Structure 1
Amino acid sequence: MSRTTTHQNLFPTSSGGSSDAAASGSSRSTNRKSPPPPPPHEQSKRKVRKTGILKVVAENPIVIVAVRGCFMCVTVNGLVQRLGVNLKMVEVEEVEKSAMLVKLSKIEGSEGGPWELPAVYVGGKLLGGVDKVMEAHVKGEFVPMLRAAGALWL
Protein backbone atom coordinates (compact mmCIF):
# COMPACT_ATOMS: atom_id res chain seq x y z
CA MET A 1 0.00 0.00 0.00
CA SER A 2 1.37 3.42 -0.87
CA ARG A 3 1.02 6.32 1.41
CA THR A 4 0.31 9.83 0.14
CA THR A 5 1.60 12.81 2.08
CA THR A 6 0.35 16.38 1.86
CA HIS A 7 3.46 18.13 3.16
CA GLN A 8 6.80 18.60 1.43
CA ASN A 9 9.98 17.65 3.20
CA LEU A 10 12.53 20.26 2.13
CA PHE A 11 15.42 18.80 4.08
CA PRO A 12 17.15 15.49 3.35
CA THR A 13 16.69 12.73 5.87
CA SER A 14 19.47 11.92 8.29
CA SER A 15 20.07 8.61 6.53
CA GLY A 16 21.08 10.45 3.37
CA GLY A 17 17.90 9.52 1.47
CA SER A 18 15.95 11.91 -0.68
CA SER A 19 13.01 13.92 0.48
CA ASP A 20 9.43 12.83 -0.14
CA ALA A 21 8.93 15.70 -2.59
CA ALA A 22 11.87 14.70 -4.74
CA ALA A 23 10.91 11.02 -4.61
CA SER A 24 7.34 11.72 -5.66
CA GLY A 25 8.42 13.73 -8.70
CA SER A 26 7.23 17.09 -7.39
CA SER A 27 7.20 20.05 -9.73
CA ARG A 28 10.02 21.64 -7.71
CA SER A 29 13.17 20.45 -9.35
CA THR A 30 16.63 21.04 -7.88
CA ASN A 31 18.45 19.98 -11.07
CA ARG A 32 18.82 23.31 -12.85
CA LYS A 33 21.10 23.64 -15.83
CA SER A 34 21.93 27.37 -15.63
CA PRO A 35 23.98 28.72 -12.72
CA PRO A 36 22.44 31.46 -10.59
CA PRO A 37 23.54 35.06 -11.28
CA PRO A 38 26.48 36.28 -9.17
CA PRO A 39 25.58 38.04 -5.93
CA PRO A 40 25.59 41.86 -6.07
CA HIS A 41 28.71 42.11 -3.88
CA GLU A 42 30.76 40.15 -6.45
CA GLN A 43 29.65 42.52 -9.22
CA SER A 44 30.89 45.48 -7.21
CA LYS A 45 34.23 43.73 -6.61
CA ARG A 46 34.74 43.51 -10.36
CA LYS A 47 34.12 47.24 -10.65
CA VAL A 48 36.60 47.97 -7.85
CA ARG A 49 39.27 45.88 -9.57
CA LYS A 50 38.85 47.89 -12.75
CA THR A 51 39.24 51.20 -10.99
CA GLY A 52 41.54 50.12 -8.13
CA ILE A 53 44.90 51.21 -9.55
CA LEU A 54 43.38 54.39 -10.97
CA LYS A 55 42.15 55.31 -7.51
CA VAL A 56 45.51 54.52 -5.88
CA VAL A 57 47.38 56.73 -8.36
CA ALA A 58 44.90 59.59 -7.93
CA GLU A 59 44.91 59.52 -4.12
CA ASN A 60 48.66 59.22 -3.41
CA PRO A 61 51.37 61.80 -4.12
CA ILE A 62 53.83 59.15 -5.33
CA VAL A 63 53.08 55.62 -6.49
CA ILE A 64 55.54 53.05 -7.74
CA VAL A 65 54.05 50.11 -9.62
CA ALA A 66 56.64 47.35 -9.59
CA VAL A 67 57.22 43.69 -10.33
CA ARG A 68 57.97 41.72 -7.19
CA GLY A 69 61.69 40.96 -7.00
CA CYS A 70 62.72 43.26 -9.87
CA PHE A 71 66.12 44.86 -9.24
CA MET A 72 65.25 48.13 -11.01
CA CYS A 73 62.04 48.40 -9.01
CA VAL A 74 63.99 47.96 -5.78
CA THR A 75 66.48 50.62 -6.92
CA VAL A 76 63.77 53.23 -7.55
CA ASN A 77 62.06 52.36 -4.28
CA GLY A 78 65.34 52.76 -2.39
CA LEU A 79 66.05 56.17 -3.94
CA VAL A 80 62.60 57.50 -3.07
CA GLN A 81 62.78 56.17 0.49
CA ARG A 82 66.25 57.68 1.02
CA LEU A 83 64.77 61.05 0.09
CA GLY A 84 62.39 60.61 3.02
CA VAL A 85 59.22 60.18 0.99
CA ASN A 86 56.38 58.03 2.22
CA LEU A 87 55.36 56.32 -0.99
CA LYS A 88 52.71 53.87 -2.07
CA MET A 89 54.22 50.73 -3.60
CA VAL A 90 52.04 48.44 -5.71
CA GLU A 91 53.76 45.14 -6.44
CA VAL A 92 52.54 42.63 -9.00
CA GLU A 93 53.75 39.18 -9.94
CA GLU A 94 55.51 38.62 -13.26
CA VAL A 95 52.44 36.86 -14.70
CA GLU A 96 50.23 39.89 -13.86
CA LYS A 97 52.59 42.41 -15.46
CA SER A 98 50.87 42.67 -18.87
CA ALA A 99 47.43 43.12 -17.35
CA MET A 100 48.74 45.85 -15.06
CA LEU A 101 50.40 47.69 -17.96
CA VAL A 102 47.06 47.70 -19.78
CA LYS A 103 45.33 49.17 -16.71
CA LEU A 104 48.05 51.79 -16.31
CA SER A 105 47.71 52.84 -19.94
CA LYS A 106 44.15 53.98 -19.19
CA ILE A 107 45.26 56.55 -16.61
CA GLU A 108 44.75 60.10 -17.80
CA GLY A 109 48.04 61.88 -18.44
CA SER A 110 49.91 58.67 -19.20
CA GLU A 111 49.93 59.27 -22.98
CA GLY A 112 49.63 55.62 -23.88
CA GLY A 113 50.94 54.41 -20.57
CA PRO A 114 54.18 52.88 -19.42
CA TRP A 115 55.77 50.18 -21.52
CA GLU A 116 57.72 48.58 -18.69
CA LEU A 117 57.72 48.39 -14.91
CA PRO A 118 58.59 50.09 -12.60
CA ALA A 119 56.18 52.88 -13.41
CA VAL A 120 56.49 55.94 -11.19
CA TYR A 121 53.56 58.31 -10.79
CA VAL A 122 54.12 61.67 -9.13
CA GLY A 123 51.07 63.78 -8.42
CA GLY A 124 48.84 61.44 -10.42
CA LYS A 125 50.94 61.79 -13.59
CA LEU A 126 53.33 59.28 -15.09
CA LEU A 127 56.95 60.32 -14.61
CA GLY A 128 58.28 57.15 -16.21
CA GLY A 129 60.50 54.23 -15.37
CA VAL A 130 63.84 53.98 -13.65
CA ASP A 131 65.59 55.95 -16.42
CA LYS A 132 63.26 58.96 -16.12
CA VAL A 133 63.43 58.95 -12.33
CA MET A 134 67.25 58.88 -12.33
CA GLU A 135 67.38 61.54 -15.06
CA ALA A 136 65.08 63.84 -13.07
CA HIS A 137 67.09 63.20 -9.90
CA VAL A 138 70.46 63.96 -11.55
CA LYS A 139 69.07 67.16 -13.11
CA GLY A 140 67.74 68.27 -9.72
CA GLU A 141 64.12 68.15 -10.88
CA PHE A 142 62.89 65.15 -8.87
CA VAL A 143 62.82 66.74 -5.40
CA PRO A 144 60.86 69.82 -6.63
CA MET A 145 58.37 67.45 -8.31
CA LEU A 146 57.90 65.60 -5.03
CA ARG A 147 57.39 68.90 -3.16
CA ALA A 148 54.82 70.08 -5.71
CA ALA A 149 52.93 66.80 -5.39
CA GLY A 150 52.89 67.05 -1.60
CA ALA A 151 55.09 64.04 -1.01
CA LEU A 152 58.01 65.99 0.46
CA TRP A 153 57.77 68.98 2.81
CA LEU A 154 61.40 70.02 3.31
Structure 2
Amino acid sequence: MRRTTSHRNFFPTNSGGSSAISASGSSESPPPPDDESTKKVRKTGIAKVVAENSIVIVAVLGCFMCVTVNGLMQKLGVNPKIVEVKEAEKTATLVQLAKIEDGSGGPWELPAVYIGGKLLGGVDKVMETHLNGEFVPMLRAAGAIWL
Protein backbone atom coordinates (compact mmCIF):
# COMPACT_ATOMS: atom_id res chain seq x y z
CA MET A 1 0.00 0.00 0.00
CA ARG A 2 1.43 3.38 -1.04
CA ARG A 3 1.16 6.36 1.19
CA THR A 4 0.80 9.89 -0.21
CA THR A 5 2.66 12.70 1.56
CA SER A 6 3.00 16.42 0.97
CA HIS A 7 6.32 18.24 0.91
CA ARG A 8 7.01 21.88 1.60
CA ASN A 9 5.80 22.83 -1.83
CA PHE A 10 2.41 21.18 -1.11
CA PHE A 11 2.54 18.89 -4.15
CA PRO A 12 1.52 15.36 -3.22
CA THR A 13 3.99 12.60 -4.08
CA ASN A 14 4.02 8.89 -3.59
CA SER A 15 6.37 7.96 -0.80
CA GLY A 16 7.31 4.77 -2.62
CA GLY A 17 8.31 6.51 -5.86
CA SER A 18 10.72 9.20 -6.86
CA SER A 19 10.04 12.77 -5.85
CA ALA A 20 10.74 16.09 -7.53
CA ILE A 21 12.41 17.16 -4.30
CA SER A 22 15.89 15.78 -3.70
CA ALA A 23 17.29 14.78 -0.35
CA SER A 24 18.88 18.19 0.08
CA GLY A 25 15.48 19.87 -0.24
CA SER A 26 16.13 21.50 -3.61
CA SER A 27 13.94 20.81 -6.59
CA GLU A 28 15.24 19.46 -9.88
CA SER A 29 15.50 21.90 -12.73
CA PRO A 30 12.58 21.90 -15.15
CA PRO A 31 13.13 20.35 -18.56
CA PRO A 32 14.37 22.68 -21.29
CA PRO A 33 11.69 24.14 -23.57
CA ASP A 34 10.98 22.25 -26.75
CA ASP A 35 12.19 23.56 -30.09
CA GLU A 36 8.83 25.07 -31.04
CA SER A 37 8.67 27.39 -28.04
CA THR A 38 12.29 28.44 -28.60
CA LYS A 39 11.52 29.32 -32.22
CA LYS A 40 8.54 31.45 -31.15
CA VAL A 41 10.79 33.45 -28.82
CA ARG A 42 13.33 34.00 -31.59
CA LYS A 43 10.70 35.24 -34.02
CA THR A 44 9.93 38.21 -31.84
CA GLY A 45 13.34 38.35 -30.20
CA ILE A 46 15.46 39.64 -33.09
CA ALA A 47 12.98 42.36 -34.02
CA LYS A 48 12.84 43.43 -30.38
CA VAL A 49 16.63 43.49 -30.04
CA VAL A 50 16.97 45.60 -33.20
CA ALA A 51 14.34 48.06 -31.97
CA GLU A 52 15.79 48.41 -28.46
CA ASN A 53 19.52 48.77 -29.25
CA SER A 54 21.28 51.51 -31.17
CA ILE A 55 23.78 49.14 -32.83
CA VAL A 56 23.05 45.47 -33.55
CA ILE A 57 25.14 42.94 -35.42
CA VAL A 58 23.34 39.75 -36.41
CA ALA A 59 26.10 37.25 -37.02
CA VAL A 60 26.80 33.60 -37.69
CA LEU A 61 28.59 31.95 -34.80
CA GLY A 62 32.33 31.90 -35.53
CA CYS A 63 32.12 33.92 -38.78
CA PHE A 64 35.37 35.76 -39.51
CA MET A 65 33.66 38.69 -41.24
CA CYS A 66 31.31 39.10 -38.28
CA VAL A 67 34.33 39.27 -35.98
CA THR A 68 35.89 41.86 -38.30
CA VAL A 69 32.83 44.14 -38.18
CA ASN A 70 32.66 43.81 -34.40
CA GLY A 71 36.39 44.58 -34.14
CA LEU A 72 35.99 47.77 -36.19
CA MET A 73 33.18 48.94 -33.97
CA GLN A 74 35.11 48.12 -30.81
CA LYS A 75 38.07 50.17 -32.09
CA LEU A 76 35.72 53.11 -32.71
CA GLY A 77 34.48 52.86 -29.11
CA VAL A 78 31.14 51.24 -29.91
CA ASN A 79 29.81 48.29 -27.94
CA PRO A 80 27.27 46.73 -30.30
CA LYS A 81 24.65 44.20 -29.31
CA ILE A 82 25.58 40.95 -31.06
CA VAL A 83 22.99 38.32 -31.94
CA GLU A 84 24.78 35.12 -32.91
CA VAL A 85 22.97 32.34 -34.76
CA LYS A 86 24.11 28.88 -35.73
CA GLU A 87 24.84 28.11 -39.39
CA ALA A 88 21.76 25.86 -39.50
CA GLU A 89 19.54 28.78 -38.39
CA LYS A 90 20.98 31.28 -40.87
CA THR A 91 18.23 31.06 -43.52
CA ALA A 92 15.42 31.29 -40.96
CA THR A 93 17.13 34.29 -39.37
CA LEU A 94 17.45 36.06 -42.74
CA VAL A 95 13.72 35.52 -43.32
CA GLN A 96 12.95 37.05 -39.90
CA LEU A 97 15.20 40.01 -40.63
CA ALA A 98 13.47 40.59 -43.96
CA LYS A 99 10.16 40.94 -42.09
CA ILE A 100 11.64 43.78 -39.99
CA GLU A 101 12.28 45.86 -43.11
CA ASP A 102 8.56 46.20 -44.00
CA GLY A 103 8.78 44.71 -47.47
CA SER A 104 11.74 46.83 -48.57
CA GLY A 105 13.93 43.74 -48.60
CA GLY A 106 16.33 42.60 -46.01
CA PRO A 107 19.86 41.40 -45.67
CA TRP A 108 21.00 38.72 -48.11
CA GLU A 109 23.90 37.59 -46.00
CA LEU A 110 25.18 37.77 -42.44
CA PRO A 111 26.55 39.78 -40.75
CA ALA A 112 23.67 42.22 -40.89
CA VAL A 113 24.40 45.53 -39.19
CA TYR A 114 21.55 47.66 -37.85
CA ILE A 115 22.16 51.25 -36.80
CA GLY A 116 19.32 53.02 -35.03
CA GLY A 117 16.90 50.25 -35.95
CA LYS A 118 17.63 50.56 -39.69
CA LEU A 119 19.56 48.06 -41.77
CA LEU A 120 22.91 49.44 -42.90
CA GLY A 121 23.99 46.25 -44.65
CA GLY A 122 26.70 43.66 -44.43
CA VAL A 123 30.44 43.85 -44.05
CA ASP A 124 30.91 45.44 -47.49
CA LYS A 125 28.50 48.29 -46.72
CA VAL A 126 30.05 48.86 -43.28
CA MET A 127 33.55 49.11 -44.79
CA GLU A 128 32.33 51.32 -47.65
CA THR A 129 30.65 53.81 -45.33
CA HIS A 130 33.66 53.77 -43.01
CA LEU A 131 36.10 54.51 -45.85
CA ASN A 132 33.81 57.30 -47.14
CA GLY A 133 33.78 58.92 -43.70
CA GLU A 134 30.04 58.38 -43.23
CA PHE A 135 30.17 55.61 -40.64
CA VAL A 136 31.21 57.61 -37.57
CA PRO A 137 28.52 60.28 -38.15
CA MET A 138 25.94 57.47 -38.41
CA LEU A 139 27.13 56.07 -35.10
CA ARG A 140 26.94 59.53 -33.51
CA ALA A 141 23.41 60.07 -34.81
CA ALA A 142 22.35 56.72 -33.33
CA GLY A 143 23.83 57.67 -29.97
CA ALA A 144 26.45 54.92 -30.02
CA ILE A 145 29.41 57.29 -29.67
CA TRP A 146 29.68 60.83 -28.35
CA LEU A 147 32.99 62.18 -29.69
TM-score, length-scaled by structure 2: 0.73
Structure 2 partner of 1:100: 93
Structure with higher Rg: it is: 1
Q: CA deviation at 1:111?
A: 2.0
Q: State how far apart, in whole Å, the 1-side matches of 2:59 and 2:42 are.
A: 17
1:65 correspondence with 2:80: no
Q: Count matched residues.
A: 121
Q: Which runs of 4+ in 1 moved over 4 A?
A: 11-15, 42-47
User: Higher strand share goes to which structure?
Assistant: 2
Q: 1:13 to 1:112 in 2, by over 3 A?
A: same
Q: Which moved more, 1:105-114 or 1:140-149?
A: 105-114
Distance 1:79 1:110, change over 3 A: farther
Distance (Å, rounded) in 1 between the aligned partners of 2:88 and 2:38: 21
* Structure 1 residue 77, shift from structure 2 partner: 0.6
**Which residues in structure 2 correspond to 1:1-154 (within 5 Å)?**
14=16, 47-108=40-101, 111-154=104-147
Are the structure 2 counterparts of residues 120 and 110 from structure 1 closer, same or farther at C-alpha, using a change threshold of 3 Å? farther
- The answer for unaligned runs of 5 or more in structure 1 is 1-8, 16-41
CA contact 1:106–1:113 (8 Å) conserved in 2: yes
Name the CA shift for 1:45/1:99 in 2 (closer, same or farther; >3 Å). closer
